[in-house]
């Protein structure tokens, strides 16, 4: 109790110095939390991936399609439970800045493969019955103020023309990490329209989404699918959904790595500032530590005082920083919703912030604590604070 009192009073002895140090820690912890959340946001697709889903695409490149005839063949591979198709549409809603993902797919198998997309049965029925119908994520609908029955015009880029879709369903994510910003419509509608405008591009699929029964057989099934189409005009590359998502991240890997490094550099910088604060405080109190030792208090007591003070300052700033991270992430996520559909402050980031704060408190006190505990009493008593 007495020790805690002494630690607390020492920590707030130089109010301005302590306040500025705490402010620095708040900003550092806040920036660290935000940057880590940005990194997490890049990995949303990876984290949301399922081990029982495979993606089959053209082996040459994602931009080359696969024939629709592959679907049946894939479905008959042992271990495959469901097959769905998907084409990236890439349409523009009013303005280029209004970016969101649009996929042409087949309703029933798609929602079977993605049980984390919760769609009310009556909305599912309405979507299936309407050839021009579409289903949108809750966040996407919120962003543009869409509601059921609204007609959404999209200007095609990959598939030229003006397209109109009627919102028949709004899905909700099962978890916070589920992407609620997708726009899904019927592949048949797209294919029929292409048949009329550019028949050579019809009956082509961007990727096949393959559901399997046993995640442990993913590699084996992938090999089997790809072997089936070897030496064909469109060879396939099948991989897990996670590997597929990581492939996208690898394109911006350097940026993500840079963000991650910067977030840790911030912590190292504030750790140095904190160490400087503790070194100054300990040096000013050399005669006090010597007095305590003269009175019979051991080096461990002196070290505990310094470690305690350092941890108290670090935890004060860290706690405020963590508290401030929550609204900052929410606000940033709202502004950046088009770039980061899922922007969540994760428990992992929270744990990393707490860990960083603890390491900061301990490392900053290490050298001053050792020095103070080693100072000779007679020499320390002569020190001027």
Partner 1 sequence: MLAHEGPIVEIRGLSKAYQRGGQVVPVLTDINLDISAGDFIALMGPSGSGKSTLLNLIAGIDKPSGGSLRVGGLDIVALSETELADWRAGHVGFIFQFYNLLPVLTAFENVELPLLLTHLRARERREHVHAALSMVGLEDRISHYPSELSGGQQQRVAIARAIITDPTILVADEPTGDLDRVSAADVLGLLDQLNSELNKTIIMVTHDARAAEAAHRLVHLDKGVLLDGDGVGG
- Find the shortest distance in angstroms from Cβ 358 to partner 1: 25
- Find the shortest distance in angstroms from Cβ 1 to partner 1: 9
Residue span binding partner 1 (CB under 8 A) among the ranges 8-16, 73-81, 121-129, 178-186? 8-16
Which CB atom, from 116 or from 284, has the smaller least distance to partner 1?
284
Contacts of 160 (CB under 8 A, 6+ apart): 197
Applying the rule CB under 8 A, the residues between 249 and 288 that interact with partner 1 are 287-288
- Find the shortest distance in angstroms from Cβ 302 to partner 1: 11
- Find the shortest distance in angstroms from Cβ 2 to partner 1: 6
Which CB atom, from 180 or from 309, has the smaller least distance to partner 1?
309
Which CB atom, from 272 or from 377, has the smaller least distance to partner 1?
377
Which CB atom, from 60 or from 280, has the smaller least distance to partner 1?
280
291 binds partner 1 (CB under 8 A): yes
Residue span binding partner 1 (CB under 8 A) among the ranges 227-235, 272-280, 293-301, 319-327? 293-301
- Find the shortest distance in angstroms from Cβ 379 to partner 1: 9
Residue span binding partner 1 (CB under 8 A) among the ranges 52-60, 79-87, 141-149, 294-302? 294-302
- Find the shortest distance in angstroms from Cβ 15 to partner 1: 12
Per CB under 8 A, the list member of 72, 96, 295, 347 interacting with partner 1 is: 295
Residue span binding partner 1 (CB under 8 A) among the ranges 3-11, 39-47, 78-86, 225-233? 3-11
d(CA 250, CA 159): 27
| Site map 10..49 versus partner 1, x via CB under 8 A | x--x------------------------------------
Question: What interhelical angle do 286-294 and 299-335 show, nearest 10?
Answer: 140
Pairing of strands 183-186, 102-105: parallel
Which CB atom, from 2 or from 347, has the smaller least distance to partner 1?
2
3-state secondary structure the chain: CHHHHHHHHHHCCCHHHHHHHHHHHHHHHHHHHHHHHHHHHHCHHHHCCCCCEEEEEECCCCCCCEECCHHHHHHCCCCEEEEEEEEECCCECCCCCCCCCEEEECHHHHHHHCCCEECCHHHHHHHHHCCCEEEEEHHHHHHHCCCCCCEEEEEECCCCEEEEEEEEEEEEECCCCCCCCCEEEEHHHHHHHHHHHCHHHCCEECEEEEEECCHHHHHHHHHHHHHHCCCCCCCEEEEEHHHHHHHHHHHCHHHHHHHHHHHHHHHHHHHHHHHHHHHHHHHHCHHHHHHHHHCCCCHHHHHHHHHHHHHHHHHHHHHHHHHHHHHHHHHHHHHCCCCCCCCCCCHHHHHHHHHHHHHHHHHHHHHHHHHHHHCCHHHHHCCCC
Applying the rule CB under 8 A, the residues between 340 and 379 that interact with partner 1 are 376-378
78 binds partner 1 (CB under 8 A): no
Residue span binding partner 1 (CB under 8 A) among the ranges 7-15, 161-169, 186-194, 273-281? 7-15
- Find the shortest distance in angstroms from Cβ 298 to partner 1: 6
d(CA 33, CA 329): 8
Per CB under 8 A, the list member of 149, 199, 296, 347 interacting with partner 1 is: 296
- Find the shortest distance in angstroms from Cβ 319 to partner 1: 23
Kindly list the residues in this chain that would bind partner 1 in the complex (CB under 8 A).
Answer: 2, 5-6, 9-10, 13, 287-288, 291-298, 376-378, 381
């Amino acid at each position: 109790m007495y020790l805690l009192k002494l630690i607390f009073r020492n920590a707030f002895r130089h109010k301005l110095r302590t306040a500025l140090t705490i402010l620095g820690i708040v900003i550092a912890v806040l920036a660290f939390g935000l940057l880590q959340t940005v990194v997490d946001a890049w990995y949303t697709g990876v984290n949301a991936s399922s081990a029982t889903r495979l993606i089959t695409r053209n082996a040459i490149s994602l931009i080359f399609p696969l024939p629709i005839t592959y679907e049946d063949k894939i479905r008959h591979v042992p271990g495959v439970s469901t097959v769905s198709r998907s084409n990236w549409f890439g349409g523009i809603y009013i303005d280029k800045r209004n970016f969101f993902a649009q996929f042409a797919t087949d309703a029933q198998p798609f929602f079977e493969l993605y049980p984390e997309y919760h769609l009310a049965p009556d909305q599912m029925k309405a979507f299936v019955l309407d050839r021009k119908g579409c289903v949108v994520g809750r966040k996407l609908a919120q962003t543009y103020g869409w509601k059921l029955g609204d007609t959404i015009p999209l200007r095609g880029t990959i598939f030229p023309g003006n397209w109109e879709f009627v919102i028949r369903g709004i899905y909700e994510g099962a978890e916070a990490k589920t992407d609620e910003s997708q726009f899904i419509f019927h592949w048949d509608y797209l294919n029929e329209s292409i048949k009329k405008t550019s028949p050579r591009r019809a009956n082509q699929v961007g990727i096949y989404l393959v559901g399997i029964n046993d995640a442990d057989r993913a590699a084996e099934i992938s090999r089997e699918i790809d072997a089936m189409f070897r030496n064909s005009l469109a060879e396939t590359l099948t991989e897990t959904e996670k590997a597929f998502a990581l492939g996208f991240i690898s394109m911006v890997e350097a940026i993500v790595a840079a963000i991650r490094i910067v977030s840790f550099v911030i912590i190292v910088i504030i750790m140095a500032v904190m160490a400087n604060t503790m070194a100054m405080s300990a040096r000013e109190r050399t005669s006090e530590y010597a007095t305590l030792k003269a009175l019979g208090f051991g080096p461990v007591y002196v070290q505990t005082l310094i470690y305690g003070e350092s941890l108290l300052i670090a935890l004060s700033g860290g706690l405020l920083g963590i508290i401030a991270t929550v609204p900052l992430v929410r606000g940033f996520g709202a502004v950046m919703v088009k770039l980061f559909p899922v922007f969540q402050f994760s428990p992992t980031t929270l744990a990393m912030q707490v860990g960083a704060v603890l390491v900061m408190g301990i490392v900053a006190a290490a050298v001053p604590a050792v020095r103070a505990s080693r100072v000779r009493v007679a020499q320390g008593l002569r020190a001027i604070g």
